[in-house]
Structure 1
Amino acid sequence: MFNVSQTFSGFSSNDLPAAKSFYTEKLGLQVSEQNGMLSLDLEGRHHLIYPKPDHEPATYTVLNFPTPDIEATIDELRARGLEFEKYPGVDERGINRHGGPLIAWFKDPAGNILSVIEQP
């Protein structure tokens, strides 16, 4: 019934030009634009970013970016101008070190929550 190998997720933004700039320039991702929407190409997996004028940021993490070295990744993203969230229980760098994998959260221009998560 479905072609599950081509399944993709999506989330909204209230400013596609700002989103395109953020995902390409700040995160270094491949972004294409078609039919008034953006597509993030994450090594063959696509994630749709669609315009929504009355957009409200997701209150949960919409994308998790695995990294083998969260400290180095945070340093690189901060050098690119990103700020990490200071949720309760995170350390001064924004890393949650209280059980589970090390994880730190940041937001895109529309306020959607993203993370870097340490995985070997």
Structure 2
Amino acid sequence: MTSPTHGWICYLEIPADDVPRSSAFYRDSFGWRLRQHDDGTVAFDDGREGRVVSGMWVTGRPPMAEPGIVISIMVDDVVAASARIEDSGGVIVRPFDPDGAEKIAWFRDPGGNVLGIYQEP
């Protein structure tokens, strides 16, 4: 029998050329909690209770600039989240399509990574 967390996506490493700028972007856009490690690295938790996704920003890696696999962040309102992303220094690269099958949009973060936002129908 597998554990209830088997297969659960739980940890991300996000490339960043400016960790303070990128970490502030995710904090301000999505409410992620930031943690400073003793070695100077910055880690995050996604702000939820229970099954938390965590990770850290890493330097020295190229950004995930072209969509291949698109990791999406759950939001309450895709339109409001798009505005917060832009206000926090991100760029919407694929806007929400009200006629689309899903409520999604893609954005480029300050480090050049392309990710998505997703609103449950």
Q: TM-score, normalised by structure 1?
A: 0.68
| Aligned position for 2:33 | 30
Structure 2 CA distance for partners of 1:21 and 1:69, relative to 1, 3 Å? closer
| Aligned position for 1:40 | 44
Look up the equivalent residue of 2:63 and give its one-letter code.
Answer: P
Contact kept? 1:102, 1:117, Cα under 8 Å:
yes
Question: By how many angstroms is 1:7 displaced?
Answer: 4.5
Look up the equivalent residue of 1:56 and give its one-letter code.
Answer: P
| Aligned position for 1:73 | 81
| Aligned position for 2:63 | 57
Query: 1 CA distance for matches of 2:80 and 2:72?
Result: 16
Greater Cα shift, 9-18 or 70-79: 70-79
Q: TM-score, normalised by structure 2?
A: 0.67
Look up the equivalent residue of 1:71 and give its one-letter code.
Answer: V
Q: Which runs of 4+ in 1 moved over 6 A?
A: none
| Aligned position for 1:91 | none
Greater Cα shift, 11-20 or 60-69: 60-69
Contact kept? 1:103, 1:117, Cα under 8 Å:
yes
Query: Where does structure 1 lack aligned partners over 5 or more consecutive residues?
Result: 88-93
Q: 3-state SS of the aligned residue for 2:81? A: helix
| Aligned position for 2:16 | 13
Look up the equivalent residue of 1:119 and give its one-letter code.
Answer: E
Question: By how many angstroms is 1:108 displaced?
Answer: 1.4
Contact kept? 1:9, 1:47, Cα under 8 Å:
yes
Query: 1 CA distance for matches of 2:88 and 2:58?
Result: 24
The number of residue pairs the alignment matches comes to 109
Look up the equivalent residue of 1:36 and give its one-letter code.
Answer: G
Query: 2 CA distance for matches of 1:108 and 1:15?
Result: 11
Structure 2 CA distance for partners of 1:119 and 1:112, relative to 1, 3 Å? same
- For residues 47-99 of structure 1, the C-alpha deviation after alignment (integer angstroms, 9 at most, x for no partner) is 221121xx3220236641212432233244445454311x4xxxxxx114565
Look up the equivalent residue of 2:115 and give its one-letter code.
Answer: L
